[in-house]
């Protein structure tokens, strides 16, 4: 759900130019042009930046993205911007395609809040609004291309999950305040913050918490890296191949089932969850699980249902928070005007009913 941005373009351009001078290779007094999107998503403010400077061979241009921590529109209780930057920097040496990061700035005096800068990757992203199941570039593909697109996303999951967080220097993610490793601790986190998210009275959320606590699956002794917000809408594609993996603010350590379940659940939200017919050509749940098990060499089916309920719980509380923010900042009159949160709650209800049945 997009929100309006307010920022002084001239001040931003001047301060970014000074900051980038010491961080872009070969940059000397770059001229910076900042595009302020009329609306940006929650969690972080996103600035699109062109930096140009003279070289012996003529003007050199770098297309950049600046991610600024939002002091106003914050979905999670704690910002994880620095962790996101650390993950992107660590993944640069792996086969997981990510943007190049040029630096992190903790001082809010520069742009009003901490931020980091990364490259802007060429390609296209499957849209959430309107859902890619209804219209847009995915709907325009033939069935074979849709299938290839989906499998490219599943391959990204496999690439992420086979990484060793210790070798990447990311073991500190185990101490994350918003995504602790132990599943029971994660459930504690969400339950303790239901008031913050705005869903303390949600029967679906309460039922999901009870079900999840009563059937905790076994956890790996050595948890792997999880993307967190694993979905087609967070991948930049060139053709139908993944070219860059975005949005790591939900990164954590744990079993791959958590990412796989989120990947399946968010696609389900964008089809069944909003009353849209799922596109033909996209592999179904069973085929996706089989492909993931083939890639990883291990069975995930026995406990995947638990992780899908967990995905539904997290999605419901996050969208409830989005609804609360929209009301608090007078973007909508009341939370009943936010179909995102209503649809998330309804899909969680159907998921719980299927498990109970």
Domain residue spans of the chain:
3-119, 137-356
pLDDT digits (tens, 9 = 90+) for 1-41: 444 456 789 999 999 999 999 898 888 789 999 987 665 55
Tokens of 270: 């964008």
The more confident residue out of 22 and 108 is: 108
**Distance in angstroms (rounded) separating the CA atoms of residues 72 and 180:** 25
Find the range with the poorest average confidence among 37-41, 231-235, 316-320, 328-332: 37-41
**For residue 16, what is the enclosing H or E element?**
helix 9-21
pLDDT > 70? residue 244 = yes
CA 15 and chain centroid, separation: 28
Q: Which CATH superfamily is domain 3-119 in?
A: Phosphorylase Kinase; domain 1 (3.30.200.20)
pLDDT value for 1: 44
**Arch. (CATH architecture) of 137-356:** Alpha-Beta Complex (3.90)
pTM: 0.94
pLDDT digits (tens, 9 = 90+) for 38-48: 655 556 889 99
Please give the DSSP secondary-structure letter assigned to residue 32.
E
Alpha carbon distance, N-terminus to C-terminus of the chain: 33
pLDDT value for 3: 47
Indicate the average pLDDT of the chain.
Answer: 92
């Amino acid at each position: 759900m997009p929100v309006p941005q307010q920022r002084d373009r001239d001040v931003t351009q001047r301060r970014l130019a000074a900051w980038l001078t010491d961080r872009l290779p070969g940059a000397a007094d770059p001229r910076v042009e900042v595009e302020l999107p009329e609306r940006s998503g929650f969690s972080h403010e996103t600035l699109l930046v062109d930096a140009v400077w003279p070289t012996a061979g003529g003007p050199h241009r770098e297309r950049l993205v600046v991610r600024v921590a939002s002091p106003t529109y914050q979905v999670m209780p704690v910002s994880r911007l620095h962790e996101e930057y650390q993950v992107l920097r660590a993944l640069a040496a792996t086969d997981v395609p990510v943007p190049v990061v040029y630096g992190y700035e903790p001082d809010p005096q520069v742009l009003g809040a901490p931020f980091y800068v990364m490259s802007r990757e060429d390609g296209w992203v499957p849209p959430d609004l309107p859902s890619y199941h209804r219209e847009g570039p995915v709907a325009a593909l033939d069935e074979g291309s849709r299938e290839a697109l989906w499998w490219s996303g599943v391959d990204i999951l496999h690439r992420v999950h086979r990484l060793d967080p210790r070798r990447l220097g990311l073991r500190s993610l185990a101490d994350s305040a918003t995504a602790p490793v132990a599943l029971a601790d994660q459930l504690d986190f969400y339950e303790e913050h239901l008031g913050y998210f705005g869903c303390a009275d949600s029967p679906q959320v309460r039922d999901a918490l009870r079900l999840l606590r009563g059937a905790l699956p076994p956890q790996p002794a050595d948890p792997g890296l999880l993307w967190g917000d694993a979905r087609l809408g967070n991948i930049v594609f060139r053709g139908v191949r993944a070219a860059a993996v975005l949005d790591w603010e939900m990164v954590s350590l744990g079993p791959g089932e958590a990412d796989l379940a989120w990947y399946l659940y968010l696609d389900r939200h964008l089809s069944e969850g909003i009353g849209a017919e799922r596109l033909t050509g996209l592999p179904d749940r069973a085929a996706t699980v089989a492909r993931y098990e083939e890639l990883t060499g291990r069975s995930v089916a026995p406990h995947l249902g638990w992780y899908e309920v967990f995905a539904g719980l997290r999605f419901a509380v996050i969208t409830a928070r989005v609804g609360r923010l929209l009301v608090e900042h007078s973007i909508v009159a009341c939370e009943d005007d936010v179909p995102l949160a209503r649809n998330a709650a309804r899909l969680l209800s159907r998921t719980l009913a299927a498990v109970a049945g």
